[in-house]
Amino acid sequence: MPIIIVVEPHPLLRLGILQLLSDVAPGATLEGTDYAHLSGEHPNSRECNLLLLSVSSMEDIYELTTAADRAYSPKAMLLLSESSEMPNSLKGLPHSVAGYVPKNVPPEVLQASVRLVLAGGSCFPLRPNVSKVPQSLVPLYEPVKWPPPAETKTKIAPPANSECQMLGLTPRQYEVLVLLARGYPMKSKRPPNTH
């Protein structure tokens, strides 16, 4: 029976997150608190499986994560941030930090992130590779010329004996079939000269 604690300073947002997580793990115990419980010694502090910590600014991230780790000793910590950009360095953060999720993600993403971290995984957003030059799609685009240029002479594929035999047709029947498949009328091809 996992214990999930949500540390969010805004009561309405905290209640919304708790409601959203109510069906994430069967039998999970959900608790909500604010930053006041992170500072000082509290006799009711206990270990938890997952701590969702709201981080309002990147300047406070190290202090908040250390205080939360000291107060609750979570097995895993998932950071909820106002910013969609992850901090440049995760050095100095407690080892229990297992994920980083922006607050503006869809509810399904937050639920999936919580399930993943509870299962022992981690979820950090991909960082854009600055050294890699983005490929432009424009060079791959070639405009279509419409209407297509008229063919100056009719191209008839040489009869492929293997295809004729496979279809059970004579070379002449195959030639007419190819012309019909290309959309030519029956009258466009003269009858054979020899009988």
Q: What is the pTM of this model?
A: 0.60
Task: Please report, for the chain, the start and end positions of each structural domain, with discontinuous segments joined by +.
Answer: 3-118, 152-195
Please report, in tens digits, the pLDDT of each residue of the chain (195 residues total): 889 999 999 999 999 999 999 988 888 899 999 888 887 665 455 788 999 999 887 788 888 888 888 888 899 999 998 877 766 666 778 888 888 898 888 999 999 999 999 999 888 775 554 455 555 555 555 666 766 666 555 555 554 567 878 888 888 888 888 888 888 877 766 666 665
39's CB contacts (< 8 A; 6+ apart) are 67
CA 190, CA 166: separation in Å to the nearest integer? 25
Amino acid in position 16? G
* Residues 6 or more apart whose Cβ sits within 8 Å of residue 13: 54, 103
The two tokens of residue 71 are: 């107060």
Question: Are 58 and 79 contacting, i.e. CB atoms less than 8 angstroms apart?
Answer: no
What is the fold, at CATH topology level, of the domain defined by 3-118? Rossmann fold (3.40.50)
Q: Are 60 and 79 in contact (CB under 8 A)?
A: no
